[in-house]
Amino acid sequence: MYAYDEIDRTLVNERVSEFRDQVKRRLSGELTEDEFKILRLQNGVYLQLHAYMFRVAIPYGTLATNQLRALAHVARKYDRGYGHFTTRQNIQFNWIKLAELPDALEDLAKVGIHAMQTSGNNMRNVTSDQWAGVAPGEIEDPRIWSELIRQHTTLHPEFSFLPRKFKIAITASDHDRAAIKIHDIGLRLIKNEKGETGFEVLVGGGLGRTPFIAKTIKHFVHGRDILSYIEAILRVYNQYGRRDNIYKARIKILVHELGIEKFSREVEDEWQHIRNSSLEIDDEVIEDIRSRFTYPAYEKLPHMPDELRQAAADPDFEAWRKNSVAPHKVQGYSIVTISLKPTGGPPGDATAEQMDALADLADKYSFGEIRVGHEQNLALPHVAKRDLPALWKALDKLGLATPNVNLITDIIACPGLDYCSLANARSIPIAQELTRRFANHELANLIGRLHINISGCINACGHHHVGHIGILGVEKNGEEVYQITIGGRADESAALGTLIGPGVKFDEVADVVEDIVEAYLALRERPEELFMDTVKRLGVEPFKERVYATR
């Protein structure tokens, strides 16, 4: 966990009182909604279909149990008893009352949580691997660097009025769980030949109307230079990024229009000016941040405890363990993913009761720590293997042991027309229907790893472009129509999906997905050939034929 210092706390508290004053002036009519908009956006407050929507940052997806309890408290006291975990390590509350927002922010500030820069044209929450610090084989804990960038960019004047929002993600593992290739800047921690820590830097990724996979701009930037290098990129973006057309304002468009070579020359030029400046990071700064991340006092435990061996006789436990439990870098421990995708439920939602109960379980079984991942699931990062059976029973009672992590019902979905004022179509009911269609866990396991991602409009909050099966809601003649793509992925081999044909109606989406899955099961060469591998081998044609032959 990271421990805030006095400076962090003062900043967060000052921000709350400033916002309290702004809300007061809005409520009294002294500020118009237009004048208030820029102020509220800087504090993560949107105006949505039914109410204000409040977005809270969870930097690099790490939460202490008192923080999770504070989020539960906000859900219970100021909202309708639940919160929605998003694809960017944020949580959103959909029914907040403006007059109560400053109180909610104050309650969160007490535990070091804020909503700064969760909206607006600035540097957004710096995200990372939800298994950071515990994943076997990781170069080092990427959160140290996420925190460095977070501190440097929070309320930084140059990054507060960018042409458009800006997102950075960091991974330190071979397997990319942070989706770095669909971020404005993606950072991959690596070691050079001398054994020094640095980064491969990628730039220009992003989804939305014009999706791009990020390109490598530099193969190795030394850790001490990472702030100056990022700042050089942002300066070039600030200077050349388009401000006349919101659809062309993201850095991905600039990179695309200039070409990565020209763009990188500009960055290199800028970098030479600022490289050996105060932006160069002293070892002590990194050491200071590193020392604020504390790790649990792990015990020396056996690799295979008796409790686990005995529980293996229970097929229900085994079904859950197989998909939810991952190896940990310390022997005798595991990382446990908690699915927020129950059959028939809205993906990513957790009730206040579930959040509180999870905090209790994290205290009991995971050294008081919880993680939030971009697939809208949670994780307990340090569970002793001997505790897995007891944890599973407790999760099951809470409705949090759905054994579907990474399977077809582990769906990512944006709020769509149920909440979002930009939506063209519903997303949540599509996800709910699909989880019901594939509720049979044996079938889901037979299908294996398959990610479905759903967005209610072209903005792509539900990452539809990078879903193995992507579903995008559009509006046609007043009707919801869904375009289906296949072959997208958001990991280290990130790719954008290919559209398979004309859009289909709301009622047809689940049938179409079933057709695609049946085609895959018939076409795969062996059970181990995953959906993505079959698509890679055969292209989209056979799937297209199957879906449209009878439509």
Binding site for ligand SF4 (CB under 6 A): 414-416, 420, 422-423, 427, 455-457, 459-462
Residues 90-109 interacting with ligand HEM (rule: CB under 6 A) = 92
Please, which residue, 199 or 419, has the CB nearer to ligand SF4?
419
In DSSP notation, 182-247 reads GSSEEEEEEE-TT--EEEEEEE--B-TTS-B--EEEEEEEEGGGHHHHHHHHHHHHHHHS-SS-GG
In DSSP notation, 47-109 reads E-SSSEEEEEE-GGGEEEHHHHHHHHHHHHHHSSSEEEE-TTSEEEEEEE-GGGHHHHHHHHH
User: Within 10 A of 253 (CB to CB), how many other CB atoms are there?
Assistant: 21
User: Within 10 A of 228 (CB to CB), how many other CB atoms are there?
Assistant: 21
In the complex, the smallest distance separating the C-beta of residue 415 from ligand SF4, rounded to whole angstroms, is 5
Residue 41 in the binding site for ligand HEM (CB under 6 A): no
User: Within 10 A of 335 (CB to CB), how many other CB atoms are there?
Assistant: 22
In the complex, the smallest distance separating the C-beta of residue 456 from ligand SF4, rounded to whole angstroms, is 3
Q: Which of 12, 16, 53, 267 binds ligand HEM (CB under 6 A)?
A: 53
To which residue do tokens 């399977």 refer? 407
Please, which residue, 143 or 250, has the CB nearer to ligand HEM?
250
Residue 378 in the binding site for ligand HEM (CB under 6 A): no
Contacted by 371, from ligand SF4, ligand HEM, none: CB < 5 to 8 Å by type: none
Contacted by 423, from ligand HEM, ligand SF4, none: CB < 5 to 8 Å by type: ligand SF4
Reduced to 3 states, what is the DSSP secondary structure of residue 277? Answer: coil
In the complex, the smallest distance separating the C-beta of residue 345 from ligand HEM, rounded to whole angstroms, is 15
- C-alpha dist (Å) from residue 338 to 173, 278, 313, 362, 413: 21, 42, 22, 11, 17
Q: Which of 22, 42, 43, 48 binds ligand HEM (CB under 6 A)?
A: 48
Residue 465 in the binding site for ligand HEM (CB under 6 A): no
Per the structure block, which two tokens stand in for 88? Answer: 């960017």
Residue 118 in the binding site for ligand HEM (CB under 6 A): no
Residue 56 in the binding site for ligand HEM (CB under 6 A): no
Spatial strand order of the sheet with 197-203 comes to: 127-128, 168-171, 185-191, 197-203, 215-222
The CA distance from 534 to 525, in Å, is 8
To which residue do tokens 């709910």 refer? 432
In the complex, the smallest distance separating the C-beta of residue 526 from ligand HEM, rounded to whole angstroms, is 34
Contacted by 465, from ligand SF4, ligand HEM, none: CB < 5 to 8 Å by type: none
The CA distance from 166 to 89, in Å, is 15
Residue 415 in the binding site for ligand HEM (CB under 6 A): yes
Stretch that binds ligand HEM, among 152-160, 217-225, 413-421, 469-477 (CB under 6 A): 413-421
Contacted by 416, from ligand HEM, ligand SF4, none: CB < 5 to 8 Å by type: ligand SF4
| Contact characters 227-256, ligand HEM, x per CB under 6 A | -----------------------x------
Residue 87 in the binding site for ligand HEM (CB under 6 A): yes
The CA distance from 57 to 50, in Å, is 22
Residue 459 in the binding site for ligand HEM (CB under 6 A): yes
| Contact characters 381-410, ligand HEM, x per CB under 6 A | ------------------------------
The CA distance from 505 to 516, in Å, is 16
∠ CA 282-286-287, nearest 5°, is: 105
Stretch that binds ligand HEM, among 86-94, 232-240, 295-303, 361-369 (CB under 6 A): 86-94
In the complex, the smallest distance separating the C-beta of residue 105 from ligand SF4, rounded to whole angstroms, is 22
In the complex, the smallest distance separating the C-beta of residue 355 from ligand HEM, rounded to whole angstroms, is 17
Stretch that binds ligand HEM, among 63-71, 80-88, 221-229, 521-529 (CB under 6 A): 80-88
Residue 208 in the binding site for ligand HEM (CB under 6 A): yes
Residue 467 in the binding site for ligand HEM (CB under 6 A): no
